[in-house]
């Protein structure tokens, strides 16, 4: 009974990877490119710092799907692992994926903070919303995340298994592995972005409700409302697609739930499904921004 459940979940997981994964990848890349074109083609968006953050987010979303989702489809769906044939790709894949993921979430946080400041009643706060500051912040955080993720290039390596004799691309440092689990994935990747977007999302929403009572040019008022609504929808969608993965991720770190083979197979299957929910967020969010 145990082997049949494990085999069934593995088969279903493979089909999800091939069909849902491929659809999500194609939709996400095309949607990301369309999103970039929309933001760069309209003058009102080109002059908006919040729209600039969303444009950069779309670029890094594409990079995240190409380094993360594409590799997952090839490995789980077709048994092709490029990290086993190329030492550089073994190291670069996880480095690039984490840089793209961190930058994408940072841009969402910067966008909602920007809209909170842009819709503020205080003139000195609105002055912080300009393209010059936005470009500098993006460059600063990209540099920070590149430096932060350099250990991926150092500690990931091709290792020959003693029992199977097969080559695997794994992290060779146990301390760094613990940091990946709790520091990078949980705290930096989920807890901090969710907290920032939740707090400033509420503050920006309150400011937007008060815009009608202020002496603000109509065009600017409508643009701020549009951008704020777009970002708020993005944040809500991100919350409901990222929380299931966070919960399963925490459960998978508890030894009591991973000792039984059946339970472990179910957790791995749930992790697979919730991982694709996260990728669906990156793919669908670009279409939401174009609506």
CA distance 285 to 240: 12
Nearest to 205 by CA among 221, 228, 223, 233: 228
Q: Which residues pair with 123 in a beta bridge?
A: none
Q: What is the pLDDT of residue 103?
A: 95
pLDDT at 285: 58
Q: Domains of the chain: which residue ranges?
A: 1-283
Please tell me the predicted confidence (pLDDT) of residue 156. 92
What is the per-residue pLDDT for 264?
Answer: 77
Contact 151, 162 (CB under 8 A): no
Look at residue 287 in the predicted model and tell me its pLDDT.
47
CATH of domain 1-283: 1.20.1070.10
Q: HEC string of the chain? A: CHHHHHHHHHHHHHHHHHHHHHHHHHHHHHHHHHHHHHHHHCHHHHCCHHHHHHHHHHHHHHHHHHHHHHHHHHHHHHCCCHHHCCHHHHHHHHHHHHHHHHHHHHHHHHHHHHHHHHCCCCHHHHCCCCHHHHHHHHHHHHHHHHHHCHHHHHHEEEEECCCCCCEEEEECCHHHHHHHHHHHHHHHHHHHHHHHHHHHHHHHHHHHHHHHHCCCCHHHHHHHHHHHHHHHHHHHHHHHHHHHHHHHHHHHCCHHHCCCHHHHHHHHHHHHHHHHHHHHHHHHHHHHHHC
- Residue 1 pLDDT: 43
Angle, alpha carbons 8-10-16 (nearest 5°): 105
pLDDT tens-place values along the chain, 291 residues long: 467 777 777 788 888 888 888 888 998 888 888 888 888 887 777 778 888 998 999 999 999 899 988 988 888 888 888 988 889 999 999 999 999 999 999 998 999 899 888 888 787 888 888 899 999 999 999 999 999 999 999 999 988 877 777 888 889 999 998 898 888 888 898 889 989 988 888 888 888 777 655 555 545 556 666 677 777 777 787 788 888 888 887 777 777 766 777 777 788 888 888 888 888 877 765 544 544
């Amino acid at each position: 009974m145990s082997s049949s459940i494990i085999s069934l979940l593995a088969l279903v997981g493979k089909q999800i990877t091939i069909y849902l994964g491929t659809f999500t990848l194609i939709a996400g890349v095309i949607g990301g490119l369309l999103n970039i074109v929309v933001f760069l083609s309209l003058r009102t968006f080109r002059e908006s710092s919040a729209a600039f953050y969303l444009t950069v987010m779309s670029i890094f979303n594409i990079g995240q799907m190409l380094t993360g989702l594409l590799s997952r489809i090839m490995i789980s769906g077709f048994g092709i692992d490029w990290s086993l044939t190329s030492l550089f790709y073994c190291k670069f894949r996880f480095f690039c994926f984490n840089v793209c993921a961190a930058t994408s979430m940072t841009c969402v946080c910067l966008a909602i903070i920007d809209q909170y400041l842009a819709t503020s009643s205080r003139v000195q706060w609105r002055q912080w919303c300009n393209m010059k500051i936005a470009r500098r912040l993006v460059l600063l955080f990209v540099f920070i995340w590149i430096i932060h993720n350099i250990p991926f290039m150092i500690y990931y390596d091709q290792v020959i298994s003693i029992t199977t004799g097969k080559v695997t691309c794994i992290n060779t440092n146990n301390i760094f592995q613990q940091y990946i689990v709790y520091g990078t994935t949980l705290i930096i990747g989920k807890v901090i972005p969710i907290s920032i977007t939740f707090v400033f999302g509420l503050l920006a929403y309150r400011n937007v409700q008060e815009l009608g009572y202020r002496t603000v040019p109509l065009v600017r008022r409508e643009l701020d409302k549009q951008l704020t609504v777009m970002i708020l929808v993005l944040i809500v969608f991100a919350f409901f697609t990222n929380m299931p993965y966070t919960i399963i991720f925490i459960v998978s770190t508890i030894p009591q739930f991973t000792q039984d083979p059946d339970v472990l197979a179910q957790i791995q299957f749930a992790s697979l499904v919730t991982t694709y929910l996260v990728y669906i967020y990156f793919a669908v969010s670009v279409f939401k921004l174009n609506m």
